Every structure is written in structure tokens, then in C-alpha cells.
Amino acid sequence: MWNNVKGKVMGMKVLHSFCKYCSQRHASVGVWVKRTPEKHRQYGQVPGKTRLLATRNYSTEPPWRVLFFGTDDFAVESLKLLSASRDSNDQVVESLEVVTLSNDVPVKTFADQNKLPVHVWPLGDLQGRFDVGVVVSFGCLFREGLINQFPCGILNVHPSLLPRWRGPAPVFHTILHGDTITGVSVMQIRPKRFDVGPILHQEIYQVPDNFTADQLGATLATKGAQLLIDTLRTLPERITNRREQAQDGATLAPKISKLMSWIIWEEQTCVQIDRLFRAIASRTMSGNIRFKYFRLRKVVIVLMTGRGRIPVPGSMSYQKESNTLAVCCKDGWVGFKAVMLKKRLSAADFYNGYLHQSFQNRSGPPKQECQFHSNRDRTELHSAGEKNSLTQQHAVH
């Protein structure tokens, strides 16, 4: 039993366990751990009382009992290394179980293939079953009561240099805004808030030129997985030396929306369109037209359409020498090597099958200009100001 007066245990062996709240070791016996009163008030705990933690004393060093929360391919990379660590000589993980949101996600598939126990969200009581939680691409807020069931807290692997790009789409915003430096962060999560907890470990990564979001995400997934293992290997020390995120430099990375994906030829430059395609890839939109990423090229040309008219943004021109469909934007021209209608067409096929025929088949004087007309609600293909019946089906890569 616990003696509240002397703080000693009568007739039982005293152990010392690592406390996630104040980075100190506290005495514990069986399932009880004494709290340090003043240091724990910020977590809503009652000073001077004891709390049931486990059916056994929790670990103060590796290997850890880990509960992993994740969904997508980015998360699978961390789960792979955690799973492999159970059988390695430098054992960091003692046991590993998984929480996911549905059956149709990569993390669930990996867990089933590797015979990892799987829990369905939301969770019930976990007292005493795990030392630390790990969250990677999970997308759900955690209540304080759940976090408190993990003696070493819950860690999160995030693909940015926090506090820059807090939120669900950091890789997308890194590419979209032209960041040349990014990285991965391992942090402790806090109740009911995303990406604001203290940093335990960070690694900088220089973004290669012309990287797409998919390429960057895959690279950071691998680096984040290794950084997680390094963090778990020295977790008590990392928690002791954790640092709060700076208030300056914080930016938000909200989910990708249709509004973000629109191409507005009149407003966006060649560089901005290039970044947009590399950031969103197949989800790029131009009003009602969906643009898929495929070898976007910057085209340096001087083109006059009609009789001395300067081309307006959205104007298109087929460049036979390079087999490129050039589209005018705010400050120049961008080129596309293929166009997606119901199937993929080369720039030459698109010109011969649609643009060239649309000029030749219309009565009246020859038409010299074909263009996309863009606004916030729709993008339509116009030939000399006349609506083409194909306008709602075009997707240019």
C-alpha cells in the first residue's frame, strides 16, 4: 500500500519510472506512481494524488511497447521500421500494435500482412498496455485522457520544419510556395491541437529542383521513419531536452481544396503554374477542366496572333518544332506535351484532331486564335470567341 505521510511503500519494492510531464523519475510500485504536485497542474491533474498507470511498471528505456496510429503510404514507412526494429540487434520496439480509421488504407494492409494487432478508432481504455504512442498521417485530434494513458506521451512524425506548415498538407504547400529548404520533425502531441507540441528531433532537407509533391513526400517519409527510430532510441534524453516551438515563423498548411487547384491564366506566372502542377499533379484544376501533370515545360516564345494582336492569357499555340502545346499565362508561356480528353493525346494529336479542325470547319474568315477563358467558376475553350463543344472535357498535362 502507499503511505501518504512518508511517501514510502510498505512491504513492496520501490522502482523509479520516467515521467513524461516533468522529465523526472518518480517512485512507483506495482500500478501506482506518485505525482509531483506543482509541476503537473498544467495538465489538469490533482496535486498530491496517485494514479493507476499499469498492470506492470512501464519502461524507462528501450525497447518500448508502441501503439501506432496511421493511415496512408507516408505512415507505412514509419510502421515498416518500427516493425523491423522488433527483430533487430539494436532493439527499440518490444511490441507493436496499430490503430487505423478504416480497412481500406495502406496501414491496415501492412498490419494484416505482418500480423500486427489492429484496433479500430476511437479507442477504449489502454491503461498499462503501452509505453508510447506514435502518430503519422492520422488526421484526428487526441483528447487529454487518451494521451495520459501513455507514460512517455504520443509522438508525431511531421514532414516539415515546424512551426512552418502546420496542418494536413505540408508537402503540398512546400512545393506550391517554392520552399528550397524543408525537413521532418518529431514532436510530442498536445490535447485537441495539431502540430503545436514540443520538438524532440528535427532534420533539414534541401528540396531538389523540379521535385513534385509525390517525390518529396516519399523522400520525407523515409527520412521521417529513420528520425523516429533515432528519437525512440534516446527517448528519455530527447524528452528532457525538448524545446517548445517558436511563435515566429508559424504558417498553416490547410487541406488541398478546389480553389487552391484552379489555374487562372490571367493571374498566375509561369513559375506559379509550374509549382502548382508539381504540387497537385493529377488534381490540378482550371475551373471545370482537370489538368493532369505530365512533363510541363516552360516555353520561351514570342508569338503574335492574328494581325499584330498581342496574345491574351489563355491563348494556345501548337509549336510543331517541339511538339508542344503552348498556353499563354500572366508573364509568358507554359508548354504541355499531352492533353487528356477521354484518353491521352499528344500535343500534335490534340492540334490535328481538335484545334486545327475547329478552325477549318467553321465558315467565314479564318480564325487565328484559340484560347482557354478562365474565371473563378469555369474554364472554357474558345475559338475566336466562339464556344467549342469540347470545353468541359479537356485536361491538359
- Residue 152: its pLDDT value, please? 96
Strands (E), 108-211: 118-120, 132-136, 154-158, 181-188, 199-206
- Residue 283: its pLDDT value, please? 52
Query: What distance in Å separates the CA atoms of residue 118 and residue 96, rounded to the nearest whole number?
Result: 10
What are phi and psi for residue 305, nearest 5 degrees? -100, 150
pTM, two decimal places: 0.76
Q: Which band of pLDDT confidence, cut at 50, 70 and 90, is reported for residue 358?
A: low
Amino acid at residue number 68: F
Q: What are the sequence ranges of the domains in the chain?
A: 1-57, 64-240, 258-396
pLDDT digit string, tens, across residues 300-331? 444 434 444 577 888 888 888 888 888 888 98
345 or 61: whose pLDDT is higher? 61
Looking up cell 503554374 gives 273
How confident is the model over 359-387, as a mean pLDDT?
50
Cβ–Cβ under 8 Å, residues 156 and 189: yes
Mean of pLDDT over the chain: 76
- Residue 281: its pLDDT value, please? 66
Q: Is 75 helix (H, G, I), strand (E, B) or coil?
A: helix
pLDDT digit string, tens, across residues 139-189? 999 999 999 999 999 999 999 999 999 999 999 999 999 999 999 999 999
Q: Which band of pLDDT confidence, cut at 50, 70 and 90, is reported for residue 12?
A: very low
Give the CATH fold of the 64-240 domain: Rossmann fold (3.40.50)
Q: Which band of pLDDT confidence, cut at 50, 70 and 90, is reported for residue 243?
A: very high
Cβ–Cβ under 8 Å, residues 201 and 230: yes
Query: What distance in Å separates the CA atoms of residue 20 and residue 155, rounded to the nearest whole number?
Result: 12
Cβ–Cβ under 8 Å, residues 146 and 192: no
pLDDT digit string, tens, across residues 287-298? 444 444 444 554
28-55 residues labelled b (16+ CB within 10 A) or e (exposed): bbbbbbbbeeeebeeeebeeeeeeebbe
| Structure-block grid coordinates of residue 240 | 528532457
Query: What distance in Å separates the CA atoms of residue 372 and residue 256, rounded to the nearest whole number?
Result: 24
Cβ–Cβ under 8 Å, residues 287 and 374: yes
